[in-house]
Structures are given as structure tokens and as C-alpha cells.
């Protein structure tokens, strides 16, 4: 009979579980230690910390929507052991005490073992203790994840180091996505973890179940803070130095550059382009990196969209089809710098006064100087300076970004050639 079917040694309704949950919720380490080390018997007792089996509770009041869709409800029950609890909260004394009393380091009645919990919490000392007492460094959880795959925070670097020292498999593919530890490090922007895994022989261009390399996974991951963004940039630079293919496509034919543009990361876009990423690559849907950059322009951080568009155009990205420019204008109206950079990449683009209809009135008024200069070109040819810029850019082609800074020109003219926005069109 499985632990799920067997009654737990300490059910949710027991006094010990009530006191234990209260101590865990308040961070009362002394009480947790006392309960685990002196009251729980046997040492590998199964403890029930949660149970939402409402069908066993006659008084449960369910909303009508739930009653109409009972088949969508999932019964969740959390079973664990004293060792898992201690490891999850970094209680080294408890872990040592339990192991000294022959607690099973690989027991996982709730689906995860103590080693999984220690790695999730980033508790290096607990991880080392468990490994020294024979914990399996490649033990799979019920979700099919090894401990290395649960090293997901900067604090878990020591755990990852300890796992590898005790024989963990650095190239193990686990979970529904068949990710390697390097993929996990990439998804969470853990540059130091990635460096550790590469140093232990991880294959830099290994593919997961979605056809992604670690570089692709890193470029598609969300970053919420400047620190996370900086770590992601360092990680991608590390992968590229290690030989990662800048143009590796996933199962949808999206390249890392597609994903970086979709996440509005101009620094990362530039890094990829400098390592040979194809600015004109098309995914299965026919979208280019430029299209992805334009799609995300209005929700990107300030200055990011025009920097991405600049970088792509200066590395040879094909232009938007002229007839589609009104659609771009509608999508990016709130970011006139993007419109300016893109418009200035054409030698000549016929301006229609009807375009004004796609720009919301409040947006037009907010950026009136720019839009007035745009629609003034409906009856005026572009200036000679612009035409000269287009001729030089056409001559330099995809190497504009590299060659323009080498021209014997003042910096202001160099930035002009590289489509630096000025706020108005001439």
C-alpha cells in the first residue's frame, strides 16, 4: 500500500500537526526542533500538512461554479516526513539528529525527498549532511525532477556544488520538458550555476523537449529586476563564449534573437547580433525579430524598443513592407522614437495624411512635434542629408554597426548614420 493510501502517522487533525504548522508559520525554530526531535515517532513518520479533500467534509460549502465542473477539481494532499520538514527549513541540528537515528534520506511520501527540499530552500549545510549519509544525488521526485533541477536560486549554488561532488549527473534530462540542469540555470538566470555546470562537462547546446538550447531558454525567460537582467546577460555571454550557437532554433523555429526581442532586451539583442545572430530569421509563423520587437514596443521599458529596432536595422534586418507601415504606426504610435528609427531606414516612404486616423488623438497631442514633422513629409521630399545617409548605409549593408564607428566622421554624424532618433523627421 502506498503512503498516499495508508493513513499518515500524524494526520492533519492531530495536535502535533497543529502545533508544528503554527511553529512553521511563525518561524519558531526552537518549537519546530523540539517537536521533530523529541515528540515525533517513528523517525520516518508520515506527517500530513495539508488535505483539501472536501468530499470527506460534509459541511464544506462549494461555489456553484465548482459544483458544475467537478471533473476539473484536483484533490491535493501534502504528506511529508520530519527529515523533509527540517531540510526544507534549513534546520541543520534536526537533520543531523534524524539522520543519526537512521532516518531514510531518500523517503518521499509526498513526492519529494529531503534532498529536494534542501535544494529548493538553498540550504547547503543540510544538502551536504544528507549526501554524506547516503542520499541519492539523482533521486527523482514525483514530478520527475532531480535535486539539481531544483537548484533555482542564487542561494542554491552551494547545494549544486555539493551534489556534483557526490556524483550528480550534470547532463540528466528530467521533468516534462526534459530540461538539463543547464536549462534550469538558464531559465532562472543563474550565471554562476551555469559556469559550474559547464565546468563539469555540461553540453552547451543540448536540447530540451521543446528543442531549446540553454541560450534559447535564457533569452525567453522573464526578468523582473535590473539585477536579474544583469545576471541573464552575463549568463548569455558565458554561453556564447562557451560555443553556444547564436542562431539555434527551437521547435517553432524561433531563434534566441526572436525571444530576446519578444522580451524587449536591447543589450541582449546586441550581444546576439555581435555573435552572428541572423537579424532576418523567420519563425514558423513568418515573424522576424523586428516584428517581435515592434509587437512588444508599447509594453517595453523606456528606450528599449527603439534600441532594439536600431540594433536590428544596423545589422541588416529586412525592412517592413511599405504597405504595412500604417499597421506599425497603429501598433507603435505611443513610442514615436520607434516610428522615427524605422521610417529613417527607408530612402523614401510615401506618407499618407490618412495615416493620422490610426493615431489616437491623445497620443498625437502628447507627441505633436514628431507627428507634425511626419505628416509634413506628405508634400515634401526627404532632405539631402537623409538621402546621403541611406546611400552610405546601403553600401555598408549588414556591417553598418561595425563599420560606421570606423569612418573618419564626427560622432554626431556617426550616430546619425546609425539611426539615432532626434525627435523629429527632416
Taking only the tens place, the pLDDT of each residue in 123-149 is 999 999 999 999 999 999 999 999 999
Q: How far is CA 394 from CA 34, 148, 390, 399, 425, in A?
A: 76, 50, 6, 10, 20
Instruction: State the pLDDT at residue 52.
Output: 58
Q: Locate the domains of the chain by residue range.
A: 1-52+77-141, 170-240, 281-297+304-426
Rg of the chain on CA atoms, in Å: 29
CA distance 145 to 150: 7
Asked if residues 212 and 249 have their Cβ atoms less than 8 Å apart, the reply is: no
Instruction: State the pLDDT at residue 5.
Output: 57
Task: Give which of 214, 153, 206, 144 is closest to 183, Cα–Cα.
Answer: 214
Asked if residues 212 and 187 have their Cβ atoms less than 8 Å apart, the reply is: no
pTM of the model: 0.89
CATH, domain 1-52+77-141, list 1.25.40.10, 3.40.50.300, 1.25.40.20, 3.90.1640.30 = 1.25.40.20
For the chain, list residues with pLDDT below 70: 1-5, 52-76
Asked if residues 368 and 342 have their Cβ atoms less than 8 Å apart, the reply is: no
CATH dotted code for 170-240: 1.25.40.20
Backbone angles phi, psi at 358, to 5 degrees: -85, -5
CATH fold match for the domains 1-52+77-141 and 170-240: yes
Amino acid at each position: 500500500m502506498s503512503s498516499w493510501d495508508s493513513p499518515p502517522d500524524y494526520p492533519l487533525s492531530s495536535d502535533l500537526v497543529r502545533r508544528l504548522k503554527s511553529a512553521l508559520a511563525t518561524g519558531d525554530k526552537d518549537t519546530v526542533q523540539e517537536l521533530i526531535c523529541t515528540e515525533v515517532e517513528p523517525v520516518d513518520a508520515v506527517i500530513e500538512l495539508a488535505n483539501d479533500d472536501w468530499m470527506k467534509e460534509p459541511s464544506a460549502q462549494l461555489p456553484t461554479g465548482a459544483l458544475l465542473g467537478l471533473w476539473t477539481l484536483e484533490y491535493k494532499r501534502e504528506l511529508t516526513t520530519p527529515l523533509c520538514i527540517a531540510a526544507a527549513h534549513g534546520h541543520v541540528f534536526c537533520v543531523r539528529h534524524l539522520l543519526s537515528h537512521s532516518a531514510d534520506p531518500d523517503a518521499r511520501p509526498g513526492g519529494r525527498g529531503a534532498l529536494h527540499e534542501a535544494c529548493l530552500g538553498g540550504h547547503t549545510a543540510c544538502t551536504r549532511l544528507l549526501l554524506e549519509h547516503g542520499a541519492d544525488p539523482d533521486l527523482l521526485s514525483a514530478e520527475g525532477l532531480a535535486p539539481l533541477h531544483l537548484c533555482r536560486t542564487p542561494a542554491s549554488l552551494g547545494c549544486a556544488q555539493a551534489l556534483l561532488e557526490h556524483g550528480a549527473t550534470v547532463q540528466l534530462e528530467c521533468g516534462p520538458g526534459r530540461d538539463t540542469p543547464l536549462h534550469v540555470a538558464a531559465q532562472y538566470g543563474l550565471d554562476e550555476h551555469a559556469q559550474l555546470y559547464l565546468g563539469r562537462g555540461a553540453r552547451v547546446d543540448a536540447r530540451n523537449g521543446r528543442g531549446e538550447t540553454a541560450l534559447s531558454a535564457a533569452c525567453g525567460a522573464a526578468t523582473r529586476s535590473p539585477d536579474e537582467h544583469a545576471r541573464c546577460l552575463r549568463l548569455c555571454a558565458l554561453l556564447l563564449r562557451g560555443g553556444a550557437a547564436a542562431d539555434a532554433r527551437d521547435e517553432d523555429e524561433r531563434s534566441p534573437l526572436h525571444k530576446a526581442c519578444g522580451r524587449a532586451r536591447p543589450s541582449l539583442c546586441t550581444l546576439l547580433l555581435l555573435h552572428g545572430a541572423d537579424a532576418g530569421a523567420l519563425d514558423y509563423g513568418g515573424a522576424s525579430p523586428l516584428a517581435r520587437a515592434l509587437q512588444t514596443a508599447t509594453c517595453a521599458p523606456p528606450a528599449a524598443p527603439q534600441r532594439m529596432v536600431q540594433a536590428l536595422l544596423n545589422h541588416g534586418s529586412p525592412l517592413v513592407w511599405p504597405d504595412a507601415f500604417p499597421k506599425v504606426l497603429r501598433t507603435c504610435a505611443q513610442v514615436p522614437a520607434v516610428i522615427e528609427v524605422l521610417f529613417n531606414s527607408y530612402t523614401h516612404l510615401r506618407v499618407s495624411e490618412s495615416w493620422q486616423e490610426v493615431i489616437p488623438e491623445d497620443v498625437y497631442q502628447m507627441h505633436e512635434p514628431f507627428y507634425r514633422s511626419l505628416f509634413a513629409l506628405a508634400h515634401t521630399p526627404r532632405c539631402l542629408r537623409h538621402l546621403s545617409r541611406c546611400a552610405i548605409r546601403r553600401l555598408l549593408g549588414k556591417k553598418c554597426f561595425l563599420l560606421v564607428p570606423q569612418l573618419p566622421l564626427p560622432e554626431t554624424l556617426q550616430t546619425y548614420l546609425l539611426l539615432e532618433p532626434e525627435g523629429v523627421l527632416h
